[in-house]
Amino acid sequence: MEQPVLADHPGLVARRRRVRLGKALAPYLLSLPAGLWLLALFLVPLVVMLSLSLQTCNFGTGACVMTWHWGEFGQQLSLYHSQFLTSIYFAGAATVIDLLVSFPIAYWIAFYGGARKNFFLLMLLLPFFVSFVIRTVVWQFILSDQGIVLGTLKNAHLLPQNFHVLATGYAVVAGLAYNYLPFTALPLYVAIERIDKSVLDAAYDLYASKREAFLRVILPLTIPGLFAAFLLTFIPALGDYINQQLLGGTNNTMIGTVIQNAFLVNLDYAGGSALSAILLAIALVGIFAYARLLGSRTIEEYL
């Protein structure tokens, strides 16, 4: 790069200095727009949220005054701890179901998908081509009391007339499990895909049984993927309120519904902010655990 013969020319020296300065600034200039955007519309809102949770708000007008009211957190928790527990329970159940359902299919595509891997991955992604809300609405119709499934079974007298799935926790978990299945299956696929097949062959050469090879080679190697899949499914499911509102009826309220109502119906910005902050804290426990164990960059590999 250096061309000492021409270095004496004063114009060139100045130009090279400018280029060097530009090169030094390049990474910052390139990341400046994104950095500013994320600062103003991701980090600042989180700070505002925390500050709002310490304010006292007028429910009628939505006007808030800073009062350093730390009690809001305890108050909201004592009011809505059961909704938090319901959310954790439903999201956890849906995530476990998704992990169990999607592991075999991810395994099959990764090991035996052959030339059609992309086709099968596209099949897993199909639900994403239909709007999230519409998908859930259709499940509402499929599961409805006199709908395609239950209505037919009832007419055949295989189910009692008062049997229902909608407005139960089962419907909510089923909806969550359906909507977030691709979030589980894809990270698992990436993790299994990445396993070096010769390691598996080595296990068999060393007289590992199929079971042992699975438990002691495949499973340990997919643990980062399992953790990523858990996180990428559990956290969005935790804050979800569409499934609960469309499939769960008025019972089984999840925390997302409470937050939505606080912000959009009751205009209780302080309460809603406190609840959001608590929800974020719960999610952060998982996020930090992941970042500590596996590094924050690794999750990108599973997206």
Partner 1 sequence: MSAAVTTAPEREAAPRHRASRRRRRRWTRFILPVYSWLVIAYLVLPILVMVIYSFNKVTTGLPQVSFTWNGFTTQWYQQWNNVPGLTSAFWLSVRLAIASTVLATIVGTLLALALVRYRPPRFHGKVFVEQIMFLNIAAPEIVLGASLLGLFVTINLARGFMTLLLSHVAFSIAYVAITVRARLTGFDRSLEEAAADLGANSWTTFRKITLPLIMPGILAGALMAFALSIDDFVTSNFVSGSTVPFPVWVYGVTRVGIPPQVFVFGSVIFGIGILCAFASIVIGRRKV
Which H or E run contains 65? strand 64-66
Residues 269-298 that bind partner 1 (CB under 8 A): 269, 272-273, 276-277, 279-280, 283-284, 287, 290-291, 296-297
C-beta of 50: minimal distance to partner 1 in Å? 9
Single out the residue of 100, 125, 199, 215 in contact with partner 1 (rule: CB under 8 A): 125
How many whole angstroms separate alpha carbon 13 and alpha carbon 276?
56
> Would you call 254 helix, strand, or coil by DSSP?
coil
**Residue 138 found at the interface with partner 1 (CB under 8 A):** yes
| Contacting partner 1 within 7-46 (CB under 8 A) | 24, 26-28, 30-31, 33-35, 37-38, 41-46
Query: Is residue 113 near partner 1 by the rule CB under 8 A?
Result: yes
CB-based contact 107:192 (threshold 8 Å): yes
- On whether the CB atoms of residues 267 and 63 are closer than 8 A, the answer is no
123 binds partner 1 (CB under 8 A): yes
Nearest to 258 by CA among 275, 280, 283: 275
Write each residue from 186 to 215 as x if it is in contact with partner 1 (CB under 8 A), else as -, in one continuous string: -----------x--xx--xx-x-xx-----
Q: Which is nearer to partner 1, 82 or 209 (CB)?
A: 209
- Distance between CA atoms of residues 90 and 275, nearest Å: 18
Kindly state the tokens that stand for 303.
């997206």
Which span sits near partner 1 by CB under 8 A: 4-12, 76-84, 215-223, 241-249?
Answer: 241-249
Query: How is the chain split among helix, strand and coil, in percent rounded to 5?
Result: 80, 0, 20
**Is residue 139 close enough to count as binding partner 1 by CB under 8 A?**
yes
133, 199, 215, 219: which one binds partner 1 (CB under 8 A): 133
